[in-house]
Amino acid sequence: MSAMSIILATLNARYTHASLGLRYLLANMGDLRGETQLAEFVIGTKTTEIVEQLLAKQPKIIGFGVYVWSVEETCRVVAMLKRVAPQIKIILGGPEVSYESAEQSIVKQADYLITGWGEVTLPQLCKQILQGPQPLMKTHVGVQPPLNDLALPYSLYTDEDIAHRTLYVEASRGCPFKCEFCLSALDKTAWPFDLDVFLAEMETLYQRGARLFKFVDRTFNLNIKSSLKIMQFFLDKIAAHPDDPVFAHFEVVPDHLPEALKAGISQFPAGALQFEIGIQSFNPEVQALVSRKQNNEKAADNISWLIEHSHAHLHVDLIAGLPGEDMASFGRGFDQLYALRPHEIQFGILKRLRGTPIIRHTEDFGMVYDSFPPYTILANKVIDFATMQRLVRFSRYWDLVANSGRFAHTLPVLLGDSPFNRFMAFSDWLYQNTDATHRIALDRLAKMVVQYLVEEQGLALDAAQSLIASDYAGKQAKGKTTAAPQRQAMHLVA
């Protein structure tokens, strides 16, 4: 393997997650780009394997992008590198180490730290390390340049990335909103990239075969003119090649859906458009506590419109454990959202990400967080630890039963007219009878659902079996899973 002076590395949550951040750094390395290489790994890989692969390139500098999902494993990698190759300079960057840095073990072991933006500061720091004079300070505050000064990274997606991985793209950075549970609350505003330059890059990706684009913009529909222009780019591709599907994922503000945007959205066919919509809470008092500005009535109306008048797939977020929100309030919000019939409800548990302003509520609301990543809330004044664990299990089982789409016919019967309370009861029962939240095989889960419907909800056995069988048969007919045909489905739940 050829030697490289600089390696930029990170541990992704999955292989399919190609790191946009690393590619931005590489694209902006200037005259050091030729001696810089990317090295992406996946969490769960043995530390020794990662270290061996990094050292095989004989680097002088290794820069790590550190995130909440990767910090613990990256810390082990850095510690081992410092033991077996102490001459290599380690530079850290990324959101997990940009805040509250002094207390972190991984920062103590590294040689240098860049907080915030790295595209300008990283190449400057590397030049000092390689060419002198040696940097005097360990911590360097990243310089934030105008976006138009940045080299875009999209040419660094390889053919392998395009064929097998999610391509992350961004038409803007930052967020004007100040929701205290989000790191974007620290941004002053949102900054747009030059849209024509950005779309030219998207065109190149498309011509190379890219068909799946996931926008990481925090507020895609903030500037409607830009939103319409981006959507028109995809609509043109769909119109020109209707048999060559393209897919775009956007995060949108729920209460901002003007008529012009609705007109554009309504033109997309099924399977081409997905919206991630952050509701987080329907409780106005809780929203005010965490500095979230949201018109709940408009948000609900817009979700209803999207369900009824578009083919967009809706992935809508709620967060349990926010300060001031008890079980009853969260349950009402859950039921309100479920009544709107989004395709998925992402039931999240609050996390105290480093640097987020939500820390100001810790004392007043008795917020107790796990001290290890991802810093999930364990309890607060109105939800004790045991109840919070029930919510965690609810979230996991909701993914298995509801968000999976495997129980489309069965779910309405299971939930009845009180979705949150009914599913919480099912969740408690399922845990008591399986003692598991992971690795529940589909056939076993189907049997457990039937058993619950019969024993706890009083449904006749043949009716419960027919529901499950119709779900299996429906999936088989649509070709979305490899589930058994209906006769086997009946056998599974017999």
User: Is 422 inside a domain boundary?
Assistant: yes
Segment 107-139, tens digit of pLDDT: 999 999 999 999 999 999 999 999 999 999 999
> Of 94, 113, 147, at which residue does a domain stop?
147
- Opening angle at CA 66, ends 65 and 72, nearest 5: 140
Distance set, CA 171 to CA 56, 137, 237, 399 (Å): 36, 34, 18, 30
Quick one: 204 and 95 in the same domain? no
Question: Is residue 301 scored above 60 in pLDDT?
Answer: yes
**Pair 220, 360 in one domain:** yes
Whether 222 and 347 share a structural domain: yes
Contact 272, 238 (CB under 8 A): yes
Whether residue 360 is found in the same domain as residue 428: no
CA–CA distance from 249 to each of 216, 271, 273 (Å)? 9, 11, 6
Q: How far is Cα 82 from Cα 54, in angstroms, rounded to an integer?
A: 12
CATH number of the structural domain spanning residue 208: 3.80.30.20
Same domain, 139 and 165: no
Predicted confidence at residue 219, as pLDDT, reads 85
pLDDT classification of 407: cutoffs 50, 70, 90: very high
CA distance 157 to 18: 8
248 and 137 inside one domain? no
- pLDDT(49) > 50: yes
Q: Give the relative orientation of helices 419-434 and 385-398 as an angle to the nearest 10 degrees.
A: 90
Quote the CA–CA distance of 6 and 3 in Å, as a whole number: 9
Assigned domain for 178 exists: yes
Indicate whether 399 belongs to any domain. no
Which residue, 147, 168, 193, sits at the end of a domain? Answer: 147
User: Mean pLDDT in the chain?
Assistant: 93
pLDDT score of 472: 78
pLDDT value of residue 453? 97
The separation between the first and the last C-alpha atoms of the chain, rounded to the nearest angstrom, is 57
State whether 137 and 167 are in the same domain.
no
> Is the residue at 262 inside a domain?
yes
Is 233 in the same domain as 357? yes
Task: Please indicate, yes or no, if residue 389 is contained in any of the structural domains.
Answer: no
Q: How far apart are CA 375 and CA 172, in angstroms?
A: 28
Question: Is 393 a member of any domain?
Answer: no
Domain that holds residue 87: 6-147
Which band of pLDDT confidence, cut at 50, 70 and 90, is reported for residue 493? very low
Same domain, 94 and 186: no
CATH number at 25 reads 3.40.50.280
Do 163 and 239 sit in the same domain of this protein? yes
- Predicted confidence (pLDDT) per residue in 357-385, tens digit: 999 999 999 999 999 999 999 999 999 99
- Domain assignment present for 396: no
How many domains would you assign to the chain?
A: 3
Say if residue 16 is in the same domain as residue 121. yes
In this structure, are 143 and 61 located in the same domain? Answer: yes
User: What pLDDT score was predicted for residue 104?
Assistant: 96
Q: Which of 331, 354, 383 is the last residue of a domain?
A: 383
Residue 391 in any domain: the answer is: no
Mean pLDDT of 39-50: 98
* Per-residue pLDDT at 385: 98
Asked if residue 41 has pLDDT above 50, the reply is yes
| pLDDT above 70: percentage of residues in the chain | 95
pLDDT at position 182 is: 92
The model's pLDDT over 187-244, given as tens digits with 9 standing for 90+, comes to: 878 899 999 999 999 999 999 999 999 999 988 888 999 999 999 999 999 999 999 9
The pLDDT tens digits of the residues spanning 13-29 come to 999 999 999 999 999 99
Integer Rg of the chain from CA: 24
3-state secondary structure the chain: CCCCCEEEEEEECCCCECCHHHHHHHHCCHHHHHHEEEEEEECCCCHHHHHHHHHCCCCCEEEEECCCCCHHHHHHHHHHHHHHCCCCEEEEECHHHCCCCCCCHHHHHCCEEEECCCCCHHHHHHHHHHHCCCCCCCEEECCCCCHHHCCCCHHHCCHHHHHHCEEEECCEEECCCCCCCCHHHHCCCEEECCHHHHHHHHHHHHHCCCCEEEECCCCCCCCHHHHHHHHHHHHHHHHHCCCCCCEEEEEECCCCCCHHHHHHHCCCCCCCEEEEEEEECCCHHHHHHCCCCCCHHHHHHHHHHHHHHCCCEEEEEEEECCCCCCHHHHHHHHHHHHHCCCCEEEEEECECCCCCHHHHHCCCCCCEECCCCCCEEEECCCCCHHHHHHHHHHHHHHHHHHHCCCCCCHHHHHHCCCHHHHHHHHHHHHHHHHCCCCCCCHHHHHHHHHHHHHHCCCCCHHHHHHHHHHHHHHHHHHCCCCCCCHHHHHHHCC
With beta carbons less than 8 A apart as the criterion, state whether 483 and 442 touch.
Answer: yes
Q: Furthest-apart CA pair in the chain: how many Å?
A: 79
Spatial distance between the Cα atoms of 227 and 458, rounded to a whole number of angstroms = 50
**Could you read off the pLDDT of 70-88 as tens digits, one per residue?**
999 999 999 999 999 999 9
